[in-house]
Amino acid sequence: MSHPDVLIVGGGIGGLGAAYSLTRRGLTVRLLESAPAFGEVGAGIQLAPNCTRILDDYGLLDEAKSLGVVPDAMVMRDAVDGGELTRLDLRDLENRYGYPYLVIHRSDLHGLLLRACRRAGVDLVNDAHVTAYENTDGGARVTLASGATHEAPLVIAADGLHSVARKLLADDQPVSSAYVAYRGTVPADHPRAAATDLSEVVVHVGPGCHFVHYGLRGGEMLNQVAVFESPKALAGQDDWGTPDELDAAFAATSGFVRDGLPFMWRDKWWRMFDRDPIMTWVSGRIALLGDSAHPPLQYIAQGAIMALEDGWVLGEHAARNRRDDGTVDWERTLAAYQAVRPEHCRRVLTTSRAWGELWHLDGLAREQRNTLLRARATHDYSFVDWLYGPTALTPDQEPPMFTPIPLATADTGTGQRDRRAEAA
């Protein structure tokens, strides 16, 4: 194709999801990825019902379930004494929202979407590093580091935390949380995994740190994540998040948590960043998607999900605004996308920050948090209805006027690695 209907920059989960969403609606899509080959790094990722709903619509849910684990419960424990604080019954949650809570290896989800795009006929281009975006009379153009250009009636920038396209809309920089994530996996036949219930997603919350574990790949491995606040980062040092800080951060936690630290990969770690919310994602025929628009912290496990939601919404509105000659009214489509998505994602970003603060309390505040969480009923969904229900994805709705919920009632979730994190 000389000029596709849509040009997407970025071959991560968000870019591939948008490519499939639009291609299945009959549009021609070219996707530009800067890396020489498609792939993802990291380990586990959590997909709540607001995401598995989309995978089901795409006809990909059964494959995703075969690659991952559908857990029975999400449990929050105190990282210091190991006591249970609260839990979600994920089987009951599936009945409530109609779709399962799924955990899957990040590379497996990425591979699933990549295969779907290939089957659908997406034009996938590697070694295409985009350095500039500009609007044209008939659409938009991108320029590569090689000097080559690509044009289309619509350009979607799914180019991540350090998005070049975002500079068209906001003069801002990534915000460091001063938190660092370490990751590691353990085979299911290892004593560490054998002693762990792989049917549960568990987060141990502690002063300035938390520890997450759950099963992956049909229960063939245990995924573990250790996250902590770096004193070196708070002091303004460049060399922060190092293994010595990891060990020190978890020194006062329970034996179960400390016993998991030797299984972390110690040659790399991920520094956690987000950005302040912006409420305008569209400049002419250039639209932000995923982390370029709304990179969150990991605490309610919605980073990749929001990106997949963005692509689904674009595809739905493109289909609704198809003209008789087969072209799309992109002005109407982008206006609808702009109306529906930013306010919901702003709430996710601000709630993620608040939930992170709640997880990491110490002293009297920790005790008060624990008392509140223990009082919560297992089947109380008032904290997650706004997030897991379908309202944020309804194409016909007016923009939802959400406001951040109070710190003491922030929504539950657990950590994940996504493309906004930086590996040291």
Please identify which of the residues 20, 133, 182, 214 carries the catalytic annotation: 214
- Known catalytic residue: 299? no
| DSSP structure string for 239-267 | S-S-HHHHHHHTTTS-HHHHHHGGGS--S
- Between CA 370 and CA 206 the distance in angstroms is 11
Q: Is 24 exposed, middle or buried (0-12, 13-18, 19+ CB in 10 A)?
A: middle
How long, in residues, is the chain?
424
As a whole number of Å, the end-to-end CA separation of the chain is: 39
* Mutual angle of helices 303-320 and 13-23, in 10-degree steps: 20
Q: Which residues contact 249 (CB under 8 A, 6 or more apart)?
A: 208, 209, 228, 229
- Between CA 89 and CA 379 the distance in angstroms is 7
H-helix or E-strand containing 201? strand 200-206
HEC readout, 222-244 = EEEEEEEECHHHHCCCCCCCCHH
Answer yes or no: are the C-beta atoms of 103 and 69 closer than 8 Å: yes
- Please name every residue paired with 155 in a beta bridge, in sequence order, or none if there are none: 7, 286
Closest among 193, 307, 318 to 260, alpha carbons compared = 193
Give the number of other CB atoms < 10 A from CB of residue 275.
Answer: 21
**Token pair for residue 224?**
């573990």
Instruction: Give the rounded distance of the alpha carbon of 210 from its chain centre.
Output: 18
- Between CA 265 and CA 145 the distance in angstroms is 33
Catalytic residues: 214
